[in-house]
């Protein structure tokens, strides 16, 4: 009998690829450290495309959890504000709509240096994937206690 557990899908933005690659490496490490069973990675062009893709994943692929990864770095225009707020809001809406953990791992940083730090030495990809495993168990505990 295999002791591997949980099927998780990552929806990851390819924009700011150096940063998102670091997040993905951290997430893969946490997946392995938590003895994950199946990991699927779905790439999208940017952070704005993450919520619609995560919704389709939730509807059609039935994973144990979805981990969203991306990086929105502040620039000199309002674009950062619009993308970061709408991406955050849309993913939050999905967490309330679906009966599975949908984890928010989209960096919203003031500058590239913060993004690099959060995708390397203080890897948020690792943290979000690790939290996904904890939330899967929390959801299972709540469902099993409500069946008693």
Residue numbers annotated as active site? 79
99 alpha carbon, distance to own chain's centre:
16
Q: Are 74 and 43 in contact (CB under 8 A)?
A: no
**Counting beta carbons within 10 angstroms of the beta carbon of residue 26, is it exposed (0 to 12), middle (13 to 18) or buried (19 or more)?**
buried
Q: Tell me which residue has tokens 């990864």.
A: 69
Q: What is the DSSP string of 108-128?
A: EESSHHHHHHHTTTT-HHHHH
Residue 1 to residue 75: CA distance in whole angstroms = 51
């Amino acid at each position: 009998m295999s002791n591997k557990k949980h099927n998780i899908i990552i929806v990851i933005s390819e924009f700011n690829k150096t940063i998102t690659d670091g997040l993905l490496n951290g997430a893969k490490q946490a997946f392995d450290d938590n003895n994950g069973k199946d990991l699927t990675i779905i790439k999208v062009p940017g952070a704005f495309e993450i919520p619609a893709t995560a919704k389709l994943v939730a509807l059609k692929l039935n994973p144990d959890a979805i981990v969203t990864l991306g990086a929105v770095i502040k620039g000199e225009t309002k674009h950062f504000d619009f993308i970061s707020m709408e991406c955050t809001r849309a993913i939050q809406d999905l967490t309330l709509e679906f009966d599975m953990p949908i984890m928010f791992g989209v960096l919203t940083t003031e500058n590239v240096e913060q993004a690099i730090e959060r995708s390397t030495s203080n890897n948020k990809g690792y943290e979000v994937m690790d939290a996904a495993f904890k939330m899967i168990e929390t959801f299972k505990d709540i469902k099993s206690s409500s069946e008693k």
